[in-house]
Amino acid sequence: MQRVILHLDMDAFYAAVEVREDPSLTGKPLIIGHRGRRGVVSTCSYEARKFGVRSAMPSVTAERLCPDAVWLSGRMGLYSEVSKRIRAIMRDATPVVEPISIDEAFLDMTGQSHDLREGAAAARQLKQRIKREEQLTASVGVAPNKFLAKLASDMDKPDGLTLLPLTAVPVKLWPLPVERLWGVGPKTAERLRGAGLSTVKSLLDVDERSLAQVVSPSMAAHLRALARGEDDRPVCTEREAKSISEERTYGEDLTDPDVIDRALLARAEGVARALRKQKLIATTVHIKVRTGDFTTWTRALKLPAPTALPEPLLEGARTLFRERIDLGGKGVRLLGLGVSGLAPETSAQATLFVPAEEEAARRRAQVTDLIREKLGDQAITRARLVKKKDRPEPEEASSLPSVD
């Protein structure tokens, strides 16, 4: 089935927002950035681009190219508010929106639009709504995949709407320089040029084996697929979590090793539960320790195998705490445990041999999760975590679970 993918990119975003806020700037060369020797240009209006001013250019160069430009230093808070509202407009068109930056996103319209023509109609409506509600223009590319959609959105800026079907690939894509292919940076481009390969078309004129001698075999296959206009990357709605962690600050510094160990166990339980909830496994465990005098350590180690279970996390955390941290006799004010190197749990189940013992632990953990979900967090807890008079739970001043 052919997909219908949109790539939307706002035109001269920061500058356009400033012009909207102050219409007297309309039609003037406007540069957003800090002037002076160390400043760089964030962006500029299309009027300033006529003078050669570009994003990331040193401000002194921009001043020389366009001495009459109006300069503004930029208001991030305002731009991100506008960005949020534009995202909401996109999400009204389809729930499958992948934001790429503050002013750019991919949308998968396959569920709403039967073909690229219908996709273009949806794109026109999106542009109109953004114009009406935000008085801003966007450029949109409509294509069967992300690579072509992104290429298309750039073809008729500003205020563009460009359809790029596979049939247009020979005319629109093949004459372009190799740098326009996703994954070709300056180094790869230089190597390709050195081998006489400078246009996209040239990559299809040589056979894949010769290309593989210039770049790696996998890169060769990747580049030739893109050159044919093929790209099957999905539009991902949510950026996957890179790490999950939990930390607690204690009202009174912890000194009792047993209390500290129980705190680690509680954090390992919490983080493992968060992993299972998101159907993820982790390959690395971290701890964060702050002593009463505000010295802070963070230490990490790679786990023997990816996991979503508390036991291996606790083992790793204990090792780190024992071997990699020297409290120097001070008490623990803050204790955190986190994981990173996250992957979907299915990737491990499919590829790794799971020992029976671990499988049983995983089942147990799943049952616990289920009961907690139904009856609340206190329904099941490990014997060691049950509050007892002679083993008081340390008082927690603040807790900070975090996913980022």
104 a catalytic residue: yes
| The one-letter amino acid at 326 | D
Whole-number minimum distance, CB 178 to ligand TTP, in Å? Answer: 21
Whole-number minimum distance, CB 248 to ligand TTP, in Å? Answer: 38
Nearer to ligand TTP, 12 or 314 (CB): 12
Q: Is 345 in the site for ligand TTP (CB under 6 A)?
A: no
Q: Which does 246 bind (CB under 5 to 8 A by kind): ligand TTP, Mg ion, none?
A: none
CA distance 36 to 30: 16
Whole-number minimum distance, CB 80 to ligand TTP, in Å? Answer: 11
Q: Is 203 in the site for ligand TTP (CB under 6 A)?
A: no
Which residue carries 């073909």 as its tokens?
Answer: 115
Residue of 104, 247, 269, 345 marked active site: 104
Nearer to ligand TTP, 176 or 305 (CB): 176
CA distance 36 to 54: 16
Q: Which does 71 bind (CB under 5 to 8 A by kind): ligand TTP, Mg ion, none?
A: none
In the region spanning residues 221 to 280, those forming contacts with ligand TTP, defined by CB under 6 A, are none
Q: Which does 75 bind (CB under 5 to 8 A by kind): ligand TTP, Mg ion, none?
A: none
Site map (CB under 5 A) of Mg ion, residues 68-107, x = contact: -----------------------------------x----
Candidate list 8, 10, 62, 122; residue touching ligand TTP; CB under 6 A: 10
Query: Hey, what are 363's tokens?
Result: 């089942």
Candidate list 1, 56, 171, 356; residue touching ligand TTP; CB under 6 A: 56
Whole-number minimum distance, CB 42 to ligand TTP, in Å? Answer: 3
Q: Is 12 in the site for ligand TTP (CB under 6 A)?
A: yes
Site map (CB under 5 A) of Mg ion, residues 102-141, x = contact: -x--------------------------------------
Nearer to ligand TTP, 43 or 202 (CB): 43
Whole-number minimum distance, CB 127 to ligand TTP, in Å? Answer: 14
Q: Is 157 in the site for ligand TTP (CB under 6 A)?
A: yes
* Nearest alpha-carbon partner for 243 in 370, 323, 322, 336: 336
Nearer to ligand TTP, 17 or 285 (CB): 17
Instruction: Specify the stretch interacting with ligand TTP by CB under 6 A; choose among 9-17, 284-292, 313-321, 395-403.
Output: 9-17
CA distance 146 to 162: 13
* Nearest alpha-carbon partner for 91 in 134, 126, 118: 126
Q: Which residues bind ligand TTP (CB under 6 A)?
A: 9-14, 42-43, 55-56, 102-104, 157-158
Q: Which residues bind Mg ion (CB under 5 A)?
A: 9-10, 13, 103
Indicate which residues carry an active-site annotation. Answer: 104
